[in-house]
Amino acid sequence: MNIESHEAGHVPPKPRAALKVCGDCNLCCKVYDIDDLGKKAGHMCQHTGHVKGCGVWGLHPQICQDFKCLWLKHDDLNALWRPDIAGFVLRLDPNGTTLNIDVDHGRPNAWRVEPYYKQIKLWSEVFPTKGLVLIHSTDGLWVVTPTEDLNISNPKRGDTLETGMEDSLFGPRPFVRVIPQKKAPTRRRA
């Protein structure tokens, strides 16, 4: 730093990292259900593989267009966090209060491996007051808290999760309950 900039208290801005690109990563094309394409989670989309990236790019479903991969968006997530290397995709719910970690069906325990697990636990310390850290894996849905990882075996789309702390014999501990989606009553025709 030269004398002039030091005297003025000027600190040059940190250079922004080069724009990340998907490259060979296409894990998002595997871990999600894409109803518009009849694609089930755990199976690679039929439009990938023969080309690098999406074979119907520009005509791909709106759900794919709207998807935001956190690894691409955040400079502080290094190459280890690229989904095909980590074994999972990071995304936020639209309201920004729930961190979802969607795990590759072929690597269901990838989220438990270091350095990932330690960081996921740290994130869970931030989210209790603002939201949740959820792991979507082949063995169910996991709610990660600073003290425990709570498993829900088969929640259904539309169910609500209730989380919090409850008193136990050993002191307060986290809980999670599934509140089933209410079905609209069927009307009888006269």
Helices (H), the chain: 3-8, 28-31, 62-66, 70-73, 83-86, 116-126
Look at residue 174 in the predicted model and tell me its pLDDT: 79
**Is residue 103 scored above 90 in pLDDT?**
yes
- Average pLDDT of the residues of the chain: 83
pLDDT(32) > 80: yes
138-167 in b/e form (b: 16+ CB < 10 A) is: eeebbbbbeeebbeeeebeeeeebeeeeee
Identify the bridge partners of residue 161 per DSSP, sorted by sequence position.
Answer: 178
Position 132 scores a pLDDT of: 85
Whether 47 shows a pLDDT value over 90: the answer reads no
Residue with the two structure tokens 């900039």 = 5
pLDDT of 71 > 70? The answer is yes
Q: What is the mean pLDDT of residues 7-12?
A: 61
pLDDT at position 2 is: 45
The yes-or-no verdict on residue 50 having pLDDT over 80 is no
Q: Which range in 60-64, 153-157, 170-174 is most confidently predicted, on average pLDDT?
A: 60-64
What is the average per-residue pLDDT within 79-89? 96
Q: What is the mean pLDDT of residues 154-180?
A: 79
